[in-house]
Amino acid sequence: MYFELIKKSFMEKFTYRVNSYIFILGTLLSLFILMSVWSTLYRGREEVNGVQFDDMVAYVIVNAIIGGLIYSEIHTNIGKRIVDGSISLDFIKPVNFKAYMFSIQLGENLFRIIFNIVPACLFVIFIWGFTLPETPHQMILFLFALINGVILFFYFNFILGLLVFWFHSPFFVDWVTKAFFQLFAGTVVPLWFYPEFLYKISLFLPFRLITYEPITIYVGQTSLAESWWIIFQQFIWIIVFYLLNKWFWNKSQTIVNIHGG
């Protein structure tokens, strides 16, 4: 059933082709500007802070693909359902609500990656090139870390959505997600170039484990032992978020207060 939901969500995006064309153009311009900036910063230098330009190119491209894979409106959708009252119907549907929301979002993200982000990344690769991991185990560890990061971010977004039960307004959700995630996940500037005090703060937060750390595994900036330590930390955070998720979901059903619907 959930595979069918992924499939239906994927096919639904074909209806809005103009949006896809605009998204491709926006992604292309964003990547081109970002790569132009990094090219200028690296001009005449083989490496900056121990990071070579080829690794930086790979970071930008892989980061764009991961960004498409973890893109989520689950938190805002849950918030809207709570505000308009439709969440009451989700409580009685014979489906797992979390799996339902994840399937819908995954279908949209797969479409976004294949038809929007990949074409833009191919343009960047054509100009600046692209390097693959040096060893097979490096790629395998990266894929492990990537999957864990997707799961981690899903749980994070689901919890944010459930918080609307207490705050009765979803307006803060996007702000929290964008502000903290973009700052501490290394989505714009890699944590390699952060001031020491910001980097130390990021070590106590899960955001770096979603994008930054998997990419460091991909480009070979971590040793084998460090890679496994990253994956171990991801598992710990997944367990923590899973338990929080379960508690919030059970608690929310006892305090739900429907104002609309």
Residue range 192-225, pLDDT digits in tens: 888 889 889 999 999 999 999 999 999 988 999 9
> How many domains does the chain contain in total?
1
Q: Tokens in use for 166?
A: 């207490």
pTM to 2 decimals?
0.85
In a domain, 193, yes or no: yes
Instruction: With respect to residue 261, please indicate whether it lies within any of the assigned structural domains.
Output: no
Write out the residue range of the structural domain in which residue 31 sits.
2-255
> If we measure between CA atoms, which residue out of 58, 66, 75 comes closest to residue 207?
66
Give the DSSP letter string of 85-110.
STHHHHTTSSS-HHHHHHHHHHHHHH
Domain annotation covers residue 102: yes
Q: Quick check: 83 and 260 in contact, CB under 8 A?
A: yes
Give pLDDT, residue 261: 45
Specify the pLDDT at position 218.
Answer: 93
Residue-wise pLDDT for 121-167, tens only, equals: 898 898 888 888 888 899 999 999 999 999 998 888 888 878 777 77
Q: Which residue has the tokens 């955001």?
A: 207
Asked whether 56 and 42 are in contact (CB, 8 A), the reply is: yes
Q: How confident is the model at residue 169 (pLDDT cuts 50, 70, 90)?
A: low
Residue 12 inside a domain? The answer is yes
Closest CA to 68 of 18, 16, 31, 14: 31
Residue 260 lies in a domain: no
pLDDT of 209:
94
- pLDDT of 14 reads 67
The type of residue at 228 is: W
Distance in angstroms (rounded) separating the CA atoms of residues 115 and 135? 29
pLDDT tens profile 42-95:
887 878 877 888 889 999 999 999 988 888 777 777 777 777 777 777 777 777
CB contact burial 102-115 (16+ within 10 A = b; e otherwise): bbbbbbbbbbbbeb
Is 194 a member of any domain? yes
Residue 178 belongs to a domain: yes
For residue 77, being part of any structural domain is answered with: yes
- Are 82 and 170 in contact by the 8 Å Cβ rule? The answer is yes
C-alpha 149/C-alpha 70 separation (Å) is 8
